[in-house]
Amino acid sequence: MYNIAIYFYLLGVAIASLFDKKVRKMWRGERDAFDVLKREVDPCASYVWFHAASLGEFEQGRPLMERLRRRHPEYKILLTFFSPSGYEVRKNYQGADIICYLPLDTPLNAIRFLRLVRPVMAFFIKYEFWYNYLHILKHRNIPVYSISSIFRPEQIFFKWYARSYAKVLRCFTHFYVQNEISKELLAKIGITDVTVTGDTRFDRVLNIKEQSKHLPLVEAFSNGANVFVAGSSWAPDEDIFIRFFNNHPDWKLIIAPHVTDEEHLQQIEQKCSGKTVRYTRTDEQEASEARCLIIDCYGLLSSIYHYGGIAYVGGGFGVGIHNVLEAAVWNVPVIFGPNNGNFMEAQELKKAEGGFEIGSYEDFEQIMNRFIGDRKTMEKAGATAGEYVKSRSGATMRILSEVKL
């Protein structure tokens, strides 16, 4: 049934690629992957294979990749992606020797791929459970590790009607999971090669903080003012916080929207009162005189949170919030929308009172008025958020201490 479904999916992707640019990139990238591997694989080298679905999973795997590369330069690293949103952003990443798309999980593709690469071990990050690749890896006695994985009762593996498919989990040599609940769920279906190590993303955001960029233009804009930073925002998020800050001219606003196409940027500009400038179209003098700075490029957000007194992370009024840890690591309180139930770090931040959920403008107004009226409360919440990130770090070293290289 799985392989039949994969072939139907393959047909759907082929058709969708005619109409959708993103799907077309993925379709072409998967087909070109074998040419990349034939051209770049060194038959005399030993490869460690990391697979990430998209950009978020890549960031989880990155601390492990980079630590392994420093400790074991005798290995080369192959990095594969499923989604264009991961590959297109990180295709020039210097921490891997080969980067390409992962060909779709058909039996033939899996056999061809593994014959070309012949990895000595593989790391699948978080939610990656490709049936054919995993079974062939197991058949060839190649160690396979699942890192920063997290399991929930509603997942298909724990349904009575999917017991056959759940056997794919037995292909893993070991699971390094985020929490005890995941370990307990796996034990219920007989999988006990499990260690609770936490999430490597905590290590990653701490690394990012240490390597953060100095941004003179953002510094000129901030210039000692009260600054609110909104990251990865969507229109429903912007409707709330822009409305509030239009009525609070004593605060400055930095917006790094998730989508930076011209139409969206113009919509933001129309909503904002006061002088608004774009990062790539202004200079330090003009930025210092503005009330709102729009970040119309990528790669700066994790450093920009440093300039804020309060942060907002978008996506919570859509499919789900973006990375709250990038903000929390800077010792600032983090506000986000209601769709955060599947994000453990958001739940724990709320419980610790370093993160705050809103469902409406009124919720946002209440939280902001509390922070503005009592700076000590704001600073305490920020310190709590930062301490939460530090307290959950160390997963990378715990994994490497157990993996046999």
Residue-wise pLDDT tens digits, 32-43: 899 999 999 999
pLDDT of residue 9: 64
Distances (CA, A) of 354 to 148, 336, 338, 380: 23, 11, 16, 8
Instruction: Work out the pLDDT band at 86, boundaries 50, 70, 90.
Output: confident
Give the residue carrying structure tokens 């992707």: 13
Tokens 């990653």 belong to which residue? Answer: 204
Kindly report the number of other CB atoms within 10 A of residue 249's CB atom.
10
> Is the model's pLDDT at 46 over the cut of 90?
yes
pLDDT at 144: 97
Work out the mean pLDDT of the chain and round it to a whole number: 93
The string over 333-367, giving b where at least 16 C-beta atoms fall within 10 Å of a residue's C-beta and e elsewhere, is bbbbbebbeebbbbebbbeeebbbbbeeeebbbeb
CA pair distance 74, 24, nearest whole angstrom: 36
Distance CA 191, CA 169 (A): 8
| Residue percentage of the chain with pLDDT more than 90 | 80
Cα–Cα distance measured from residue 81 to residue 71, given in angstroms and rounded to the nearest whole number: 24
Where residue 191 falls among pLDDT bands split at 50, 70, 90? very high
Give mean pLDDT, residues 200-229.
94
229 with 213: CB under 8 angstroms?
Answer: no
Please check the confidence at residue 13 and state whether its pLDDT lies above 70: no
> d(Cα 88, Cα 92) in Å, to the nearest integer?
9
The average pLDDT across 68-86 equals 93
pLDDT at 27: 65
Q: pTM of the full predicted structure?
A: 0.84
Average pLDDT estimate for 272-280: 96
Contact of 338 with 313, CB cutoff 8 Å:
no
Answer yes or no: is pLDDT of 392 > 90: yes
Distance, CA of 256 to CA of 229 (rounded, Å): 8
What pLDDT score was predicted for residue 213? 87
pLDDT at 84 exceeding the cut of 90 = no
Rounded CA gap, 403 and 387, in Å?
Answer: 28
